[in-house]
A and B are shown apart, each in its own frame.
Chain A
Amino acid sequence: MKNNKNISGAEAVIKSLIKENADLVFGYPGGAIMPVYDELFKFQDKVHHVLTRHEQGAVHAAQGYARSSGRVGVAIATSGPGATNLVTGIADAQIDSTPIVCITGQVSAHLLGSDAFQETDIIGISMPVTKWSYQITKASEVPVAIAKAFYIAKSGRPGPVLIDITKNAQFEMFDFNYKKCIGIRSYSPIPKIDKNKILDAAKLINAAKKPLIVSGQGVILANAEKEFKSFVEKSGIPAAWTILGASALPTSHELNVGMVGMHGNYGPNILTNQCDLLIAIGMRFDDRVTGDTNSYAKQAKIIHLEIDPAEIDKNIIVDVPVLGDCKESLSMLSKNIKTKSYKNWLKTFDDLMKKEFNKVIKNDLAPKKKGLTMGESIIAINKFTKGKAIIVSDVGQHQMVACRYANFIESRSNITSGGLGTMGFALPAAIGAKMGAPKREVVAVIGDGGFQMTIQELGTIFQLQLPVKIVILNNDFLGMVRQWQEMFFDKRYASTEMVNPDFVSIAKAYFLDSEKVENRSDLEPAVKRMVESKKPYVLEICVEKEANVFPMIPSGASVSDIRLE
């Protein structure tokens, strides 16, 4: 590239982004990052910057972008409050293994440690929640640090990286020369697969009578959906998934037996404690999945396909760990297993599903009561998007209902804050998701509580004229907390009832199309209008105030103690 001699650190930042094909970034300007914004202005034909209304919005948008596109999301903020506002999103990306690079401005190097205006030790603050971080104090460090940042964020088990750049380094002139990072000697992102472990695992699979697969986001992060599907189909083993594993296998697949965990399906939870072999793939045995670990799958042998060595035996001791990239290990495994089917075993899942249907699903989807349910709202979305939408959910009851009832056909269709449970995630993440997959329909499903945590991003949506569809499932409560208060705190509804504004008026104030649904007969036509609209759309659905999400594994109970009411 010409004109790389004697350029500023700030220009080098943008040129580095271009080298990494990061043509879209989310952010918010401020004093200590102004030289970088000045270069963004000059390079706006090459790097599109989206101005969110809060730095938290920028980082969640970067996450949504990464999750829908499989690329690295980028968020930019200034020093001090700009940087600290990123922290929630960084922590969310860390626990949900989302590849993002955050770039923050910092006071000039000579002012570091002097409590200068808008100085915070963002490296120190973010250290426990970043995969890697680096503070640049000289322009010459820019290309090396950014190359490393992108490499680390996306390789192995992905995660967030933070690059903090002092203002003097942004101004300093130097000769730019960019080399992509292809390896770091102290870091081996993908463990080599031990063939003996594959053979051990295959032996267990071939001998099993009642095996169960539980897959997580690892399958999606490894782009291993195809290999996973072939493995499931050849082995004939019923396949359940964690919340972040949703959509890797189509919902309608005959071997898809539903979600595990606290509000997962009845069958896979109960049968976790009856199977003779549990095959965990790219999942980390989160406590919301396992319930009480002392009574989790004790009768079963456990195989764990995993890329991160630190996850092996962390929460659950396993019999055969298979370290490595599951795209590779799954196809190796498929070659070594017999083609089988488990008719009677699958029937147990069907029987338990029937029980769940009669006790829970029927009332959720075709309620006899007058009040609208979250379940029927999701079914209406399924109907008009034909299951092709990316569903971005927030955190709480609606999230569990969305993941339970959404009909997924394609992978990367479920974007939600799983590990951290960040309310306010969905609205900004939906912006990023839509920009990462512009051809796909994106429907954000959000509760009235979470919506008001990042409601300002309606402004971003308006400015971009971004056709995301926003469904507010409004029960005038912080529903999940209220449910716990009802069940475990004798209905003492401490600070969970919300007196809400008129969301339709708010949307209209942002010049967005919007409507409100209160009656069943209006639901489908309204959802249809929303889906057919080519513009952003806010649909408020007023649902029953005190409905509960079932099935449920009470906190600390065993998976097999899952309750239907």
Chain B
Amino acid sequence: MEKKTLFTVSIYTENNVGLLNRISAIFLKRHINIESFTTSECEIKNVFRFIILVEMTHSGIGKIIKQIEKQVDVIKAFYHTDEETIFQETALYKVKSSSLFEEREIQKSIKKSNARIITVNPDFFVIEKTGFRHETDKLYNDLAPYGLLQFTRSGRIAVTKSKMGISEILNTFKNQKKK
């Protein structure tokens, strides 16, 4: 069996209803589980970028990318390994306020992990940590013994180290607009 690797898939698309469904269906059809999924408008107005994390074989990912690009509303799709990207995830931790004052260890963990307290009120406080998965995991493990009221982690966001092959295409879009 060919080895599986974690790939960051970047998909540039038009802003159309239902496209999310179309893209996820391509993975569904091949019984591939999506590890994380993020979407937002990219550097060009009205062009959206999906960032999808999947574990797949090298030969499989190439085929999937072509199937994605085949969709009418997809402008271009790419895949990259971890080494080729700068990537981060954000996690939020909600903890009882009393434990912040009673447990000195919590304050230490927050400091050590470079996390940020984004809100404090008499009942609870919320910590935000942006970083690699192992960093948000570590903070999770540190805080868990004191009781986490809520925990959530975003999907991966990533940019590539090298220039994205899409820049030229997107620039032509910009110029088209000007005309």
Contact residues of A with B, CB < 8 Å?
123-124, 127-128, 131-133, 135, 152, 184-187, 308-310, 312-314
Given contacts A127-B22, A127-B25, A128-B29, contact A186 B74 (CB under 8 A): yes
Contact of B66 with A by CB under 8 A: yes
Q: Are B22 and A313 in contact (CB under 8 A)?
A: no
Q: Which residues of B contact A309 (CB under 8 A)?
A: 66, 69-70
Chain B residues lying within 8 Å of A312, measured Cβ to Cβ, are: 66
Instruction: Report whether B176 and A185 are in contact in the complex, using a CB–CB cutoff of 8 Å.
Output: yes
Closest to A132 in B: B72
Pair A152/B72 contact, Cβ less than 8 Å: yes
Residues of A within 8 A of B14 (CB): 185-186
Take A310-B66, A310-B67 as given contacts and tell me if A186 and B72 are in contact as well, using a CB distance cutoff of 8 Å: yes
Residue in A131, A184, A187, A312 with the greatest tally of chain B CB atoms within 10 Å: A187
Contacting pair B72 A187 (CB below 8 A): yes
The answer, yes or no, to whether B18 is at the interface (CB within 8 Å) is yes
Residue in B13, B17, B70, B173 whose CB lies within 8 Å of A308 = B70
Task: Give the A-binding residues of B (Cβ under 8 A).
Answer: 13-14, 17-18, 21-22, 25, 29, 62-63, 66-67, 69-70, 72-75, 173, 176
Contact B13 A133 (CB under 8 A): no
The residue of chain A having its C-beta at the shortest distance from the C-beta of B18 within the complex is A123
Q: Specify which of A135, A184, A314 is in contact with B72 (CB 8 Å cutoff).
A: A184
Which one, B17, B62, B69, contacts A135 given CB within 8 A? Answer: B17
Cβ contact of A313, chosen from B17, B62, B70, B75, cutoff 8 A: B62
A206 → chain B closest CB, angstroms = 30
Q: Considering the complex, give the chain B residue whose CB is closest to the CB of A309.
A: B66
Task: Give the contacting residue for A310; candidates B18, B21, B70; CB below 8 A.
Answer: B70
- Pairs across A and B, CB under 8 Å, 26 listed: A124-B18, A124-B21, A127-B18, A127-B21, A127-B22, A128-B29, A131-B72, A132-B72, A133-B18, A184-B72, A185-B75, A185-B173, A186-B13, A186-B14, A186-B72, A186-B74, A186-B75, A187-B72, A309-B69, A309-B70, A310-B63, A310-B66, A310-B67, A310-B70, A313-B62, A314-B63
How near does chain A come to B175, taking the closest CB pair, in angstroms? 12
CB-CB under 8 A from B25, the residues of chain A are 127-128
The 6 A-B residue pairs whose C-beta atoms are closest, nearest first, are A310-B66, A186-B75, A132-B72, A187-B72, A310-B70, A128-B25
The residue among B25, B63, B72, B75 with the most chain A CB atoms within 10 A of its own CB is B72
Q: Which residue of A lies closest to B176 (CB)?
A: A185
- Besides the contacts A128-B29, A185-B173, what 4 more A-B pairs have beta carbons closer than 8 Å? A127-B21, A128-B25, A184-B72, A308-B70
Note all chain B residues with C-beta closer than 8 A to A152: 72
B39 CB to nearest A CB, Å: 16
Neighbouring A residues of B69 by C-beta, 8 Å: 309-310
Minimum Cβ distance to chain A for residue B160 (Å): 20
The CA of A132 and the CA of B173, in the complex, are separated in Å by: 22
The closest CB in chain A to the CB of B47 belongs to A186
Which residues of chain B are within 8 angstroms of A187 by Cβ–Cβ distance?
72-73
Q: Are A313 and B63 in contact (CB-based, < 8 A)?
A: yes
CA distance A187 to B75 in the complex (A): 7
